[in-house]
Amino acid sequence: MTRTLLSIGECMIELAPRSEDCLTMGFAGDTFNTAWYARRSLRPGDDIDIAYLSAVGDDTPSMRMTDFIRDAGIRPILRVRQGRSVGLYLISLNNGERSFSYWRDSSAARSLADDLEELPVKGQGDLVFISGITLAILPQAGRKRLYAALENARRNGVTVAFDPNLRPRLWSDTDEMRREIMRAASLADILLPSHEDEATHFGDRDPHATARRYLAACSAPGAMVVVKDGPGPVRIYAGGTHWDVPTVKSPHVEDTTAAGDSFNGRFLVGLMRGEPVAEAARAACQLAAQVIGKRGALVAVDGVS
Ligand code: ADP
């Protein structure tokens, strides 16, 4: 029976400099990147459907985004909001340094949970992925609806995976960010934090502290915490024990955008396929090492699976 990996969040238009006076238009966003790399990680015979839930407008960029998602082999589950549009970000280059400017305050994706009663997943074997950015863009009422839908899905046996992806600039205050992140963590079975962010915003002294805090918050008895740490080993905590998986040395680090997202996509597909956790993490590190060797969020990668 086909199982579903459903990612929920915001995909945006990406405008990146091609030359001095020319921009290239693409599409990206953390939860979408995760779905994209999950899709690239599928092997023939994997009976896994990768779906993306969000909201878009009714204009041409929204339609192009929908086509892009579908053409990538991802099933779009997109609410269409009349008169709205999608968010956008611009990458600027200044002496080789990249900086990002965002226009997303009124994007349609902020309304993705407005009418969300139930998630389009069935039960055991299906997985839902959200991130801290998914939470950050939603109004409080939307977050409540999303939490209720996640709780309901979990009661039916669906696995919930959560990457806190802390972005204080998207929150009105950091206390609210910390509170909502821990609330969502309490509903998750698989947590995928990055230690550096967690150290900055929660004051964790080391990856163990990050893992302990999330394990304490999880209500799921079989919860798993996977702490990413840039080039440092990935630390996996599950079933009362923990172990390290070394990352793969990248011959050349060009751009770390989507390192964590690609890791998440490959890791979650591995778990759904029934790979041992360490094997899934090793393959995820291999993919992330390729991704950081190239510029951009969605890069061509070889030999994923
Ligand atoms: P995020 O992108 O969410 O901040 P991290 O920076 O912790 O996440 O990186 C996620 C994963 O990407 C790491 O677990 C590792 O596998 C890979 N990675 C990131 N930076 C490097 C690096 N410099 N060398 C090798 N692998 C890296």
**Mean pLDDT of all residues belonging to the chain:** 95
Q: What whole-number distance in Å separates Cα of residue 282 and Cα of residue 243?
A: 12
Answer yes or no: is 81 within a domain: yes
Among residues 38, 293, 72, 31, the alpha carbon closest in space to that of 167 is found at 31
Pocket mutation for ligand 1, best pick of 30, 200, 256, 291 (most atoms within 8 Å of C-beta): 256
Whether 297 is in the pocket of ligand 1, judged by its Cβ within 6 Å, is no
CB neighbours of 93 closer than 8 A, spacing ≥ 6? Answer: 17
What local confidence, expressed as pLDDT, does residue 305 receive?
Answer: 56
Does residue 274 belong to any structural domain of this protein? yes
Tell the burial category of 60 from Cβ atoms under 10 Å away from its Cβ (0-12, 13-18, 19+).
exposed
Cα-based angle 148, 150, 153 (whole degrees, multiple of 5):
110
- Cα of 288 vs centre of ligand 1, distance in Å, is 7
- Rounded mean pLDDT for each run of 10 residues along the chain, 305 residues in total: 97 92 95 98 96 98 98 98 97 84 96 96 97 98 98 97 97 97 97 97 97 93 95 95 95 91 98 97 97 91 68
What is the per-residue pLDDT across 169-190, written as a single tens digit (0 to 9) for each?
999 999 999 999 999 999 999 9
Q: Would you please indicate which residues are annotated as catalytic (active-site) residues?
A: 261
- Give me 205's structure tokens: 């002294």
Structure token pair of residue 102 = 């965002």
pTM of the model: 0.97
Residue 304 has a pLDDT of: 63
CB 227 within 8 A of CB 237: yes
The pLDDT assigned to 21 comes to 87
Instruction: Quote the CA–CA distance of 63 and 277 in Å, as a whole number.
Output: 38
Q: Would residue 301 count as lying in a domain?
A: no
Q: Flag whether 302 is in a domain.
A: no
Which domain, by its residues, includes 261? Answer: 3-292
- Whether residue 262 is contained in a domain is answered as yes
155 burial type by CB count under 10 A (0-12 exposed, 13-18 middle, 19+ buried): exposed
**Domain assignment of residue 242, yes or no:** yes
Cα angle 49, 54, 60 (rounded to 5 degrees) comes to: 105
Burial of 75 (0-12, 13-18, 19+ CB in 10 A): middle
- C-alpha 202 – ligand 1 centre gap (Å): 19
Cα–Cα distance, 85 to 303 (Å, whole number)? 36
- Which residues lie closer than 8 Å to 216 by C-beta, 6 or more apart? none
For residue 103, tell me if it sits in a domain. yes
In a domain, 305, yes or no: no
Q: How many domains does the chain have?
A: 1
Distance (angstroms) between ligand 1 centre and the Cα of 83 equals 38
**Protein residue with its CA nearest to atom 6 in ligand 1:** 230
**Whether residue 228 has its Cβ less than 6 Å from ligand 1:** yes
pLDDT tens-place string over residues 206-231: 999 999 999 999 988 889 999 999 99
Q: Report strand pairing: 48-56 vs 88-94.
A: unpaired
Which domain CATH number covers 94?
Answer: 3.40.1190.20
